[in-house]
Amino acid sequence: MPNIIQPSPEQWDSFVAAQPRAHVLQLSAWGELKAAYGWSVERVALAEGGQIVAGAQLLFRRLPFRLGSLAYLAMGPYTQPFPLETGSSGSEGVRRLWQAVDACARRHQAAFLKWEPGIVEASYNSSLPAELGFRESAQTIQPPRTILIEIGDDDETILARMNQGTRRKIRQSLKSGIRYWQANRAEVDIFNRMMQTTGARNAFGVHAPGYYERAYDLFVPSGRAALILAEHEGDPLAGIMVFAVGRTAWYLYGASSDTKRNLMAAYGVQWEAIQWAKARGCTTYDMWGIPDEDETTLEASFQERSDSLWGVYGFKRGWGGRVTRSLGAWDKVYNPLVYNAYKAAVRLRSSSE
């Protein structure tokens, strides 16, 4: 029978990278990044014969007034088979893993566990979270809807799936004398300055400069990410931080300056990021986050709206991907009194905004 262990970061990352559903948010480096910004992290796994056979990385954040913590499980757990593929709560191993997850959450005095499985395939049994003791939640942490681009083909095939305007802007960006390159550590400051400009221009929050510096240190030297920048005659124009594990890459952070926007560097730097992902063997490129609306509503409204993720949807829709939605967020409640207080606080904050 498998033993419950706390794997080392190296053990865990090797296990994650081998999974069909490998995700950057389950890597140990992601846990370390979040640990520098108010979260704590713990990994639980089942091991048999010295090999991990199932596991999950959990994040914890303290709730105010000493009311315990919020536990968070993103884009996992990893089991064989994955729980939502089984049509039931799964094998004995699956049940043992969930018991270990619950025990870990309780050790951290979690009032509830928020689970975002990240599943988009329609064949999965979407009723399984309820069977596992979860209730659907409107409070998501990651954007539930995204656009996935297939990048396993040759460049002309990828370009052919895009709309005409995006193809034209990519080609323009590659003929405008723009220099694209993978930035070194000292050049993260260029990206930080453009992030501040982007946040101010589009009225959305960005992380503190130290966040992107830490992300660079944790992911880029290991080959799990690249910071790709664009400049023209010494003027910084755009930048992307792209991450990859397994066969998928994620466009998590992007920025552009207010300078020479007519050169379309935002398109060129995205194309360079796709090329980086292809060179690593990725076949899927996740544009990471669009408004959580059905495709008909998205297409009917994107030209009139620029708030929240609407401002980036007009850009992302042209890249020839397919709109997909995960199962969203699900909560397992350990302390109903604290959980209800949390929901009331969220509603109050939303109404004030």
3-state DSSP of the chain:
CCEEECCCHHHHHHHHHCCCCCCHHHCHHHHHHHHCCCEEEEEEEEEECCEEEEEEEEEEEECHHHCCEEEEEECCCECCCCHHHCCCCCCHHHHHHHHHHHHHHHHCCEEEEEEECCCCCCCCCCCHHHHCCCEEECCCCCCCEEEEEECCCCHHHHHHCCCHHHHHHHHHHCCCCCEEEECCHHHHHHHHHHHHHHHHHHCCCCCCHHHHHHHHHHHCCCCCEEEEEEEECCEEEEEEEEEEECCEEEEEEEEECCCCHHHCHHHHHHHHHHHHHHHCCCCEEECCCCCCCCHHHHHHHCCCCCCCCHHHHHHHHHHCCEEEECCCEEEEECCHHHHHHHHHHHHHHHHHC
pLDDT above 70 for 141: yes
Overall pTM > 0.85? yes
pLDDT above 90 for 14: yes
- Residue 182 pLDDT grade (very low, low, confident, very high; cuts 50, 70, 90): very high
Q: What is the pLDDT of residues 217-267, one digit of tens each?
A: 999 999 999 999 999 999 999 999 999 999 999 999 999 999 999 999 999
Least confident interval from 170-184, 251-265, 266-280, 294-308: 294-308
pLDDT above 90 for 83: no
Q: Domain limits of the chain?
A: 3-141+327-352, 146-325
Share of the chain above pLDDT 70, in %: 94
Share of the chain above pLDDT 90, in %: 80
Same topology between domain 3-141+327-352 and domain 146-325: yes
Task: Look at the domain 3-141+327-352 and name its fold.
Answer: Aminopeptidase (3.40.630)
Specify whether domain 146-325 bears CATH 3.40.630.30. yes
The pLDDT, as a whole number, for residue 87 is 44
